[in-house]
Amino acid sequence: MIKNTELYDPMDKDLVNKRIKAKKLCQKYNGLPIEKFRKRMSFLKKILGKTGEIVYIEPNFFCDYGYNIEVGENFYSNHNLVILDPAKVTFGDNVFIGPNCGFYTAEHPLDVPTRNKGLEYANPITIGNNVWIGGGVSVLSGVTVGNNVVIGAGAVVTKDIPDNVIIAGNPARIIREG
């Protein structure tokens, strides 16, 4: 796992090999027969670092490493989930994710010379318990989402979100509490 804000070279041979391994596992997962629910859940446990008992991700699912992803109990994601996980991505219990969502821990430096060297850094993402994430949501590096949160479709979450709120927009903002 990459440490917070530590610059790293994503083309490092070891990191490239780890990404290839995870992407091959995702490719196999995405090709499993859709009706084989138990087999699909079992296969996810080979990809992800930690899971609850009931975990289901509709195909297609893509990640960078897999072992940096932890999901709690009763986790569901609709189609086209993308998790870029050079840093840890943690989902609590009872998290439901709409289609076409992305969780991106990787970032590129803002200064041109460093960015042009191909270096990156990453910060973890944490999603609390009882969170419903609408379709097309993007959650950016370093964000923590509290418990009992609803994120409206299409939101871009750029900063931490407290417990017990509904958020929406780009950038996402609180639209209702409670």
CA dist list (Å): 23 to 43, 69, 70, 102:
13, 14, 17, 16
Q: pTM of this prediction?
A: 0.94
Give the model's confidence band at 1: pLDDT under 50 very low, under 70 low, under 90 confident, else very high. low
Within-domain flag for 123: yes
Within-domain flag for 6: no
Please, what sign has the CA dihedral across residues 116, 118, 119, 123?
positive
| Domains: count for the chain | 1
Between CA 178 and CA 176 the distance in angstroms is 7
Between CA 112 and CA 117 the distance in angstroms is 9
132: domain range? 13-177
Within-domain flag for 47: yes
What is the per-residue pLDDT for 101? 98
pLDDT above 70 for 69: yes
What is the per-residue pLDDT for 17? 98
Q: What is the pLDDT of residues 25-51, one digit of tens each?
A: 999 999 999 999 999 999 999 999 999
Within-domain flag for 4: no
Within-domain flag for 118: yes
Q: What is the pLDDT of residues 137-161, one digit of tens each?
A: 999 999 999 999 999 999 999 999 9
Within-domain flag for 1: no
Which of helix, strand or coil describes residue 171? coil
Q: Which long-range contacts (CB under 8 A, 24 or more apart) does 76-82 make?
A: 77/101, 78/135, 81/57
What are the residues facing 70 on neighbouring strands? 50, 90
The burial of 22, by beta-carbon neighbours within 10 Å (0-12 exposed, 13-18 middle, 19 or more buried), is given as: buried
What residues act catalytically? 108
Within-domain flag for 27: yes
Q: Report the CATH number that the domain containing residue 131 is assigned in CATH.
A: 2.160.10.10
